[in-house]
Amino acid sequence: MKPYINVDLLSQSLRRRTVDTVNKKIRLAKISGSKQENDIISPVNCNGFGRIHHFQFNRFDEWPVDPLPMAPAAKYLDITPIQDMTAEVFQLASCNFRCWYCFVPYSLLSPNYNNSEWKSCEELVSMYSNISLSQRPKIIDCSGGHPELAPEWIPWMMEALINQEMASSTFLWSDDNLSTDFMWRYLTDDQLELIASYPGYARVACFKGFDYESFSYNTSASPELYDRQFDLFSRLLDLQIDLYAYVTFTSKPLSNITDKINLFIDRLQSIDPMLPLRTVPIKILPFGVTLTRVSDLFMKEADKWQTIAMRAWVDELQKRFSSQDLSLNISEVRFSG
Ligand code: SF4
């Protein structure tokens, strides 16, 4: 059996190579020329460091809709959410997990002088604002990698958007893999306050599995870190940012899957009774990059189990929530705390 990743050690080492607090720069993945470029539909932009992603509500038959980040973005921008919305995606060149289904090549998850460059957020926003108005997405997605290895990235982006008068026309979205407490360790109170009070921002935190085994199977991290996801999500909720969750359901063959999904929902509801309604199951797909790591057979089996788990999730939500609650716009679901 492969040893688990030492996530805490790797996180510290990656952080040292990913953020320069003196010059306010982060290490950004160069997407052009990478293996990931073959999986991208729209051409890479922003000098090779950005890409346009098309988010869609209804992408798959027989899979729950995914309204993120369109619903919170449309609410902030005061526009009608549409089926297909684009986002300008920038990727931090670091991650402390190695999810087998990651659509980013592992080579872009650990920064070096070939795969990434130091960039300031002023440069990123400037490259973004130089995209012609007709082509420029209204959403910036700070992705990765794990953006929270350099938690300064988010308040620096907010400052740059404000400085360049782009804040009111741009919605800022960021991902979090729920593995590090760096934002509380390394951000100042003023930076935390800015994140909490900035109106055009929301975050999605991803639960990488629905029990200890599926978490470890997906991430290559120790099963013990499954619990940490819930603790970190609670702490994020305390900050009162506009917070959402994804969950990935891929797993090995399982027995008692309904019980496991029910327990997972119990844990979400122990954070907040309404949290399942702000949680979106993400369907894992076989990208070209993914199929360099796993076989077709592996993918088919993972797909079979994610579908079974998703059905158990949908069934259980129907038991726990009224049809009125289930039809709420995700950005209108209120946490009870
Ligand atoms: S946490 Fe995200 S970026 Fe990191 S390996 Fe997993 S899918 Fe990729």
- The per-residue pLDDT for 2 is 79
Determine the topology of domain 7-332 in CATH. Answer: TIM Barrel (3.20.20)
Instruction: Give, for ligand 1, the residue of 28, 104, 216 to mutate: max count of ligand atoms closer than 8 Å to Cβ.
Output: 104
Prediction pTM value: 0.96
With a 6 A CB cut-off, is 225 part of the ligand 1 pocket? no
Which residue, judged by its Cα, is nearest atom 6 of ligand 1? 99
Q: What is the spatial distance between Cα 258 and Cα 254, in angstroms, rounded to a whole number?
A: 10
Q: What is the spatial distance between Cα 10 and Cα 23, in angstroms, rounded to a whole number?
A: 23
With a 6 A CB cut-off, is 99 part of the ligand 1 pocket? yes
Looking at residue 192, its amino acid is L
Provide the residue-wise pLDDT of the chain in tens; the chain has 337 residues: 779 999 999 999 999 999 999 999 999 999 998 888 888 888 899 999 999 999 988 888 899 999 999 999 999 999 987 778 999 999 999 999 999 999 999 999 999 999 999 999 999 999 999 999 999 999 999 999 999 999 999 999 999 999 999 999 999 999 999 999 999 999 999 999 999 999 999 999 999 999 999 999 999 999 999 999 999 999 999 999 999 999 999 999 988 999 999 999 999 999 999 999 999 999 999 888 898 899 999 999 999 999 999 999 999 999 999 999 999 999 999 998 6
Whole-number Cα distances in Å, 323 to 65, 161, 244, 248, 327? 15, 39, 20, 24, 6
Q: Are 105 and 145 in contact (CB under 8 A)?
A: no
DSSP letter for each residue of 11-50? HHHHHHHHEETTTTEEEEE--TTSGGGGG-SSPPBGGGTE
With a 6 A CB cut-off, is 67 part of the ligand 1 pocket? no
Q: What is the spatial distance between Cα 60 and Cα 273, in angstroms, rounded to a whole number?
A: 28
Q: Pairing relation of β-strands 25-29 and 116-120?
A: antiparallel
- Local structure of 56: helix, strand or coil: strand
Q: What is the spatial distance between Cα 200 and Cα 197, in angstroms, rounded to a whole number?
A: 9
With a 6 A CB cut-off, is 75 part of the ligand 1 pocket? no
